[in-house]
Amino acid sequence: MYALGLQDIDIDKIEKIPLAERLPSNFLKVFECEIPEPKDDEVLVKIFGAGLNYNSVWQSICSPLSSKSLIEGHVRRNSKDIHHLKNYYIFGSDGAGTISKVGAKVKNWKIGDQVVIHCNVVPTHEKNIDDMKSLSQSIWGYETNFGSFAEYTCVKYNQLLKKPAHLSWPEAGSYMLTLGTAYRMLASINGAKIQKGENCLIWGGAGGLGSFAIQICKMIGAKSIAIVSNSEKANYCKSLGADFVINLSEFGSFEYLNKLESPNYLFWKKFKNKINDVINGEVDVVFEHIGKDTLGFSIYILKKGGRVVTCAASSGYLAKIDLRYLWMEVKSLIGSHFANLQEAEMANKLMINKTIKPVTNKIIKFDQIPIFLDKMYNRENVFGKIGINF
Ligand code: NDP
């Protein structure tokens, strides 16, 4: 079968290049490999649609870890998955297709079923525990092999969800990772559990996470304040129902950190006042994933008792924060990562019953994946999700 990702020889070459000079498209390639054989609790899915996620950017530039190290880590935690150790790594953590083979212990699913695959790999089927806290938990197509960028993928049967009948294959294959993540971050008791009437500041409002965060706020009755870098992204956020949009390009220069990478308090104060003026109130929750550049400001801007919920660090993971604004103003910083089985199912129901709409605005061909990962990395004008047609 055909697949896209990296091979061991590419990883050796990438790791010799300084990080700042690496680009996702540099070494990504389509290669031929064998069709994986499902184990007892697995299914083989023929992929008809998939989606791009930022984790493929990280894998392609081997930062902070190469796929080889990530998958070796998964196998150390899950010795039964030794078959994931290959000399190639198939990327892709979002996909949809039809089941073409089922393992002996698979229940409730059969050959021909149309499915969406979520990326939480855990060896349990219990719905009443937060399995994101399980020591063996991994993300499919990132910390495990056989991702969605291939003709076929092999996944645990507890990763399967019903495909919403009204969605095309690229739409169905591109929403789950970011919708599930935004759902846990905002709606779940494991995240910020945002309430009706609260104000939520959303970084990267037009991105994959942001465009679902806006819709989740709307669904709950919270007010969203989407931060974007240009007017096209601003219009897009408004079309999704954002209550307020802050277009950074209209605010002059932005320096969250000064030259020594310490908090730029003067700028923080000015920007906080500006945002509070625009919303005529204060921020209760910040939806964070930018990291180093903004985390300190995200804590600072909150009203007393507010919450920052974070799942990522696109600008860098070693962030400086001024702890005085955390403890003296009794705020919380909540870490969040994808979604447990129950949260993934709840998020999928919102798509099935059309409460949340898909945000797949661009559909690309399989061989365009590397170029579009470059665009994501360079923050070019891509909105919502990018779907892949097979
Ligand atoms: P997208 O590329 O779709 O959107 C991110 C948006 O953030 C961009 O559109 C950009 O908007 C804004 N942004 C601001 N500063 C930066 C920066 N320094 N680098 C990149 N983007 C920036 O990505 P996603 O929304 O899908 O994901 C965002 C981050 O969250 C990624 O790091 C990803 O790996 C992580 N993630 C983590 C998950 C988890 O479970 N832990 C799940 C999903 C994603 P603008 O140009 O308008 O400012």
51 pocket-lining for ligand 1 (C-beta < 6 Å): no
Strands 152-156 and 42-51, sheet pairing:
antiparallel
**How would residue 228 be classed by pLDDT, with cut points 50, 70 and 90?**
very high
Per-residue exposure over 62-101, b if at least 16 CB sit within 10 Å of its own CB, e if not: beeebbbebbeebbeebeebeebebebbbbbbbbbbebeb
120 pocket-lining for ligand 1 (C-beta < 6 Å): no
Question: What is the Å distance from ligand 1's center to 206 Cα?
Answer: 9
pLDDT tens digits along 151-168: 999 999 999 999 999 999
228 pocket-lining for ligand 1 (C-beta < 6 Å): yes
Angle at which helix 208-220 crosses helix 176-186, to 10 degrees, equals: 50
- Which residue is listed with tokens 């089985």? 341
Percent above pLDDT 70 for the chain:
99
Work out whether the CA dihedral 295, 282, 285, 357 comes out positive or negative. negative
Taking a C-beta distance cutoff of 8 angstroms, is the pair 319, 296 a contact?
A: yes
Written as six digits, the tokens of 54 are 């930022």
208 pocket-lining for ligand 1 (C-beta < 6 Å): yes
Distance CA 362, CA 382 (A): 8
- Residue 210 alpha carbon, nearest atom of ligand 1: 25
Atom 11 of ligand 1, residue of closest alpha carbon: 204
Question: What is the Å distance from ligand 1's center to 54 Cα?
Answer: 7
pLDDT at residue number 251:
78
Work out the number of other CB atoms within 10 angstroms of the CB of residue 358.
23
204 pocket-lining for ligand 1 (C-beta < 6 Å): yes
Ligand 1 binding pocket mutation candidate from 379, 380, 383 (most atoms within 8 A of CB): 379
**How would residue 125 be classed by pLDDT, with cut points 50, 70 and 90?**
low
Question: What is the Å distance from ligand 1's center to 233 Cα?
Answer: 14
Q: Is 208 exposed, middle or buried (0-12, 13-18, 19+ CB in 10 A)?
A: buried
pLDDT at residue number 50:
98
pLDDT at residue number 275:
96
Whole-number average pLDDT of the chain: 96
Ligand 1 binding pocket mutation candidate from 59, 181, 209, 214 (most atoms within 8 A of CB): 209
> Sheet harboring 29-32: ordered strands across?
29-32, 2-7, 88-90
Atom 19 of ligand 1, residue of closest alpha carbon: 314
Question: What is the Å distance from ligand 1's center to 20 Cα?
Answer: 18
**How would residue 310 be classed by pLDDT, with cut points 50, 70 and 90?**
very high
Give the H/E segment covering residue 161: strand 160-162
Question: What is the Å distance from ligand 1's center to 385 Cα?
Answer: 11
The mean pLDDT value for 332-354 works out to 98
95 has which bridge partners? 50, 117
pLDDT at residue number 252:
75
pLDDT tens digits along 249-306: 987 777 889 888 889 999 999 999 999 999 999 999 999 999 999 999 999 999 999 9
289 pocket-lining for ligand 1 (C-beta < 6 Å): yes
Which of 17, 20, 6, 158 lies closest to 69 in space, CA to CA? 6
Distance CA 146, CA 148 (A): 7
Distance CA 269, CA 274 (A): 9
pLDDT at residue number 253:
73
Q: Is the pLDDT of residue 381 over 80?
A: no
pLDDT tens digits along 99-115: 999 999 998 999 999 99
pTM of the entire predicted model? 0.97
362 pocket-lining for ligand 1 (C-beta < 6 Å): no
